[in-house]
């Protein structure tokens, strides 16, 4: 066979142009010195596979004889027989890259006129000459590897500490949680006792009041309309007060907490404004839309507005703004406004869960609550702050108060109602309820935290409650793991998504259901995690509209096994085609 091949080569040569000479020279050499040339593109380890006279295609489809190895004709569809040529579309070429790192490249790169291997071994047909750049590349690679290894080592230390810290802290918080839960149970009983007492007092009060009113009414039957109106108002209020149940009170207490009410006041009143704005916006939009739909023409639009409107179909930009090209901003604002409302629910689901029930309540009762609040003193509001600074401090203070309360509960009360005692009971009840709510909030917060997936060894625990920012051009990106991610520009904030967990074996963080894009999806963010000694947001990009990607370095990704691979690579033991550096 070999002889025949050789002869064919010779014959062919007679007909070929000089330009082919180099190829031919090679082919001729290939025939005469098969071993040295035939192993082109094969790694040392794999050479054994090709050292028999009959070789199997790796996919098992057929066999070929040794002289067909690297004979520039594809016999195995999987490329087994042509590791050193471009003949098979699906083959791989191995370059030794001595001094750098060994690599496998696609067969399609062999003799394509472009130097791919740093040792130039992929270009051997003489069309171009590739200089050997492996030494230089190797030096750069080693330096980078060394740097990376040192980062890995530093990161690994931090990671160890983080994991340890997480272990301890999680255990502590778990026990704290169980303590809190026991206290909650106790406190619940107390509150219930106070509630019974309070209701009894209030019932008595109510009866007295009615009695008084009856007497009053009888005495002043011919009084002015003013007086009767006032009476009925009082009556209405009383009725509302009486009908209050425990859930209502929980809610009431919650709204009293200083932090809470700040959020409430701030956001909800803002929200109402925004809602109005949004309503207006939607109406304009739909008005425009229906104009188009019914074919009654854009008669009210100026020429420019019409131009913008038509342009906006392709771009999704809001046509009604004065900016030249960048029209998306306005649209983003309205998108944001729309979802601020959702954010409330998503961002603080624990707090909001109590509020949800509110939605069904009518405004009347809301007014009644406000009215009641006015009568309260603000001490409780102050003390609730302590809940967040010292978990158990307030409990001691409450305890002795509770003692007097339990006395009060035990003591049967008589009519007429002792007003000072009644006020005291009410106050105590209020306080206890408030504490209970704070305690429950704390429990829920802890539970929520402990439910999170902090990684296989808790290595992401230290990221809880933290946010990382990066300024890029006009935007600031803020990523808060386990919570949310936003894009800020000046005062406007766009949600890029709510926490959606880790993906792909803790290589990515995912944030989903951010603000909706016009004509597009809800915004989302995928954060690629890399090993780094500090936690740092490195890059944010938007490759598809409203689908963001970012890169965050964290010690959590500095893994021992990766370090080992890097060290092996540094010592030239492992080939890595996908150089991640």
Nearer to another protein, 114 or 196 (CB): 114
Of 70, 80, 86, 380, the residue at the interface with another protein (CB under 8 A) is 86
Residues in the chain: 581
Nearer to another protein, 223 or 366 (CB): 366
DSSP 356-422: HGGGGS-HHHHHHHHHHHHHS-SHHHHHHHHHHH-TTHHHHHHHHHHHHHHHHHHSPP-SSP-HHHH
- Determine phi and psi for 554, rounding to 5 degrees: -155, 145
Nearer to another protein, 407 or 505 (CB): 505
**Residue list 316-355, contact with another protein (CB under 8 A):** 316, 324-325, 338, 341
**Residue list 464-493, contact with another protein (CB under 8 A):** none
**Paired strand residues for 567:** none
Is 72 a binding residue for another protein by CB under 8 A? The answer is yes
Three-class DSSP labels, 439-462 = HHHHHHHHHHHHHCCCCCCCCCHH
512 within 8 A of 524, measured Cβ to Cβ: yes
Of 204, 263, 301, 512, the residue at the interface with another protein (CB under 8 A) is 301
Is 358 a binding residue for another protein by CB under 8 A? The answer is yes
**Residue list 277-296, contact with another protein (CB under 8 A):** 278-279, 282, 285-286, 289, 292, 295
> Least distance in Å: CB of 341 to another protein?
7
Nearer to another protein, 324 or 375 (CB): 324
Nearer to another protein, 62 or 448 (CB): 62
> Least distance in Å: CB of 58 to another protein?
11
> Least distance in Å: CB of 408 to another protein?
35
Produce one character per residue of 480-513: b if its CB has 16 or more CB atoms within 10 Å, e if not.
bbbbbbbbeeeeebbbbbbbeebeeebebbbbbb
In angstroms, rounded to a whole number, what is the distance separating the alpha carbons of residues 475 and 471? 6
**Residue list 368-407, contact with another protein (CB under 8 A):** none
Is 31 a binding residue for another protein by CB under 8 A? The answer is no
> Least distance in Å: CB of 535 to another protein?
24
Best CA proximity match to 538, nearest among 489, 471, 453, 486: 471
Of 32, 52, 89, 560, the residue at the interface with another protein (CB under 8 A) is 89
User: CA-based angle 264:269:272, to the nearest 5?
Assistant: 125
- For the chain, helix (H) and strand (E) counts, in that order, are 16, 12
> Least distance in Å: CB of 95 to another protein?
16
> Least distance in Å: CB of 15 to another protein?
7
> Least distance in Å: CB of 219 to another protein?
41
Nearer to another protein, 313 or 393 (CB): 313
HSE toward the beta carbon, residue 486, CA cutoff 13 A: 17
Binding mask 103-142 for another protein (x = CB under 8 A): ---x-xx--xxx------------x---------------
Of 87, 130, 321, 570, the residue at the interface with another protein (CB under 8 A) is 87
Best CA proximity match to 536, nearest among 488, 467, 484, 475: 467
> Least distance in Å: CB of 5 to another protein?
9
Is 363 a binding residue for another protein by CB under 8 A? The answer is yes
Of 16-24, 379-387, 460-468, 525-533, which part binds another protein (CB under 8 A)? 16-24
> Least distance in Å: CB of 267 to another protein?
11
> Least distance in Å: CB of 575 to another protein?
16
> Least distance in Å: CB of 91 to another protein?
10
Contacts (Cβ under 8 Å, ≥6 apart) of 485: 477, 478, 479, 495, 496, 497, 511, 514, 525, 527, 548, 550
Of 31-39, 69-77, 477-485, 563-571, which part binds another protein (CB under 8 A)? 69-77
Nearer to another protein, 310 or 564 (CB): 310
**Residue list 40-59, contact with another protein (CB under 8 A):** 59
In angstroms, rounded to a whole number, what is the distance separating the alpha carbons of residues 438 and 444? 10
3-state secondary structure of 21: helix
> Least distance in Å: CB of 243 to another protein?
19
What proportions of the chain, in percent to the nearest 5, are helix, strand and coil?
A: 60, 15, 30
Helix (H) or strand (E) segment spanning residue 552: strand 547-554
Nearer to another protein, 114 or 210 (CB): 114
Is 262 a binding residue for another protein by CB under 8 A? The answer is no
Is 298 a binding residue for another protein by CB under 8 A? The answer is yes
Of 37-45, 275-283, 395-403, 422-430, which part binds another protein (CB under 8 A)? 275-283
Is 272 a binding residue for another protein by CB under 8 A? The answer is yes
Of 58, 144, 217, 268, the residue at the interface with another protein (CB under 8 A) is 268
- Determine phi and psi for 308, rounding to 5 degrees: -65, -40
- Give the number of residues in contact with another protein, rule: CB under 8 A: 78
Is 297 a binding residue for another protein by CB under 8 A? The answer is yes
Is 73 a binding residue for another protein by CB under 8 A? The answer is yes
3-state secondary structure of 170: helix
Is 359 a binding residue for another protein by CB under 8 A? The answer is yes
> Least distance in Å: CB of 231 to another protein?
29
- Determine phi and psi for 353, rounding to 5 degrees: -60, -35
**Integer CA distances (angstroms), 251 to 17, 194, 267, 271, 343, in order:** 93, 17, 17, 20, 20
3-state secondary structure of 478: strand
In angstroms, rounded to a whole number, what is the distance separating the alpha carbons of residues 57 and 115? 28
Of 19, 224, 232, 389, the residue at the interface with another protein (CB under 8 A) is 19
Query: Could you tell me whether strands 524-531 and 547-554 are parallel, antiparallel, or unpaired per DSSP bridges?
Result: parallel
In angstroms, rounded to a whole number, what is the distance separating the alpha carbons of residues 268 and 261? 10
**Residue list 536-565, contact with another protein (CB under 8 A):** 543-545, 547
């Amino acid at each position: 066979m070999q002889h025949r091949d050789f002869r064919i080569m010779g014959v062919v040569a007679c007909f070929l142009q000089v330009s082919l000479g180099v190829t031919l020279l090679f082919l001729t050499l290939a025939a005469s010195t098969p071993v040295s040339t035939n192993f082109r593109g094969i790694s040392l380890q794999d050479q054994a596979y090709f050292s028999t006279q009959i070789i199997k295609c790796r996919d098992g489809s057929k066999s070929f004889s040794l002289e067909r190895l690297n004979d520039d004709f594809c016999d195995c569809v999987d490329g087994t027989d042509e590791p050193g040529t471009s003949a098979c579309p699906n083959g791989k070429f191995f370059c030794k890259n001595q001094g750098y790192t060994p690599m496998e490249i696609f067969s399609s790169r062999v003799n394509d006129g472009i130097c791919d291997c740093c040792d130039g071994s992929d270009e051997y047909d003489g069309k171009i000459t590739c200089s050997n750049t492996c030494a230089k590349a190797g030096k750069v690679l080693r330096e980078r590897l060394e740097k990376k290894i040192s980062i890995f080592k530093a990161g690994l230390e931090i990671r160890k500490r983080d994991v340890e810290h997480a272990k301890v802290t999680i255990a502590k918080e778990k026990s704290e949680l169980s303590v809190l839960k026991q206290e909650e149970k106790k406190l619940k009983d107390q509150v219930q006792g106070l509630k019974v007492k309070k209701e009894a007092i209030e019932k008595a009060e109510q009866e007295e009041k009615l009695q008084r009113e009856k007497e009053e009414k009888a005495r002043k039957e011919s009084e002015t309309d003013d007086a009767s109106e006032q009476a009925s108002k009082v009556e209405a209020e009383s009725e509302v007060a009486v009908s209050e149940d425990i859930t209502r009170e929980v809610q009431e207490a919650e709204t009293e907490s200083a932090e809470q009410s700040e959020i409430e006041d701030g956001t909800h009143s803002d929200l109402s404004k925004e809602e109005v704005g949004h309503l207006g916006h939607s109406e304009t939009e739909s008005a425009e839309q229906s104009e188009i739909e019914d074919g009654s023409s854009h008669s009210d639009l100026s020429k420019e507005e019409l131009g913008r409107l038509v342009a906006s179909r392709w771009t999704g930009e809001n046509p009604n703004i004065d900016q030249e090209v960048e029209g998306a901003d306005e649209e983003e604002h309205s998108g944001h406004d729309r979802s601020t409302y959702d954010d409330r629910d998503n961002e603080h689901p624990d707090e909001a869960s109590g509020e949800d029930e509110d939605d069904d309540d009518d405004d009347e009762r809301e007014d009644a609550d406000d009215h009641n609040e006015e009568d309260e003193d603000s001490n409780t509001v102050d003390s609730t702050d302590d809940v967040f600074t010292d978990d158990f401090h307030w409990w001691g203070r409450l305890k002795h108060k509770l003692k007097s309360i339990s006395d009060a509960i035990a003591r049967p009360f008589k009519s007429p109602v002792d007003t000072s005692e009644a006020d005291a009971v009410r106050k105590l009840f209020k306080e206890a309820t408030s504490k209970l709510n704070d305690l429950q909030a704390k429990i829920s917060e802890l539970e929520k935290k402990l439910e999170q997936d902090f990684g296989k060894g808790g290595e992401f625990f230290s990221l809880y409650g933290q946010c990382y920012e990066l300024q890029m051009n006009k935007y600031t990106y803020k990523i808060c793991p386990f919570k949310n991610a936003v894009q800020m520009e000046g005062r406007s904030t766009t949600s890029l998504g709510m926490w959606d967990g880790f993906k792909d074996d803790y290589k990515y963080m995912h944030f989903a259901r951010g603000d909706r894009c016009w004509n597009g999806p809800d915004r989302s963010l995928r954060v690629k995690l890399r090993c780094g000694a500090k936690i740092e947001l490195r890059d944010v990009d938007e490759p598809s509209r409203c689908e963001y990607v970012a890169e965050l370095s964290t010690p959590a990704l500095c893994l021992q096994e990766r370090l080992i691979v890097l060290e092996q690579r540094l010592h030239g033991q492992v080939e890595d085609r996908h150089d991640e550096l």
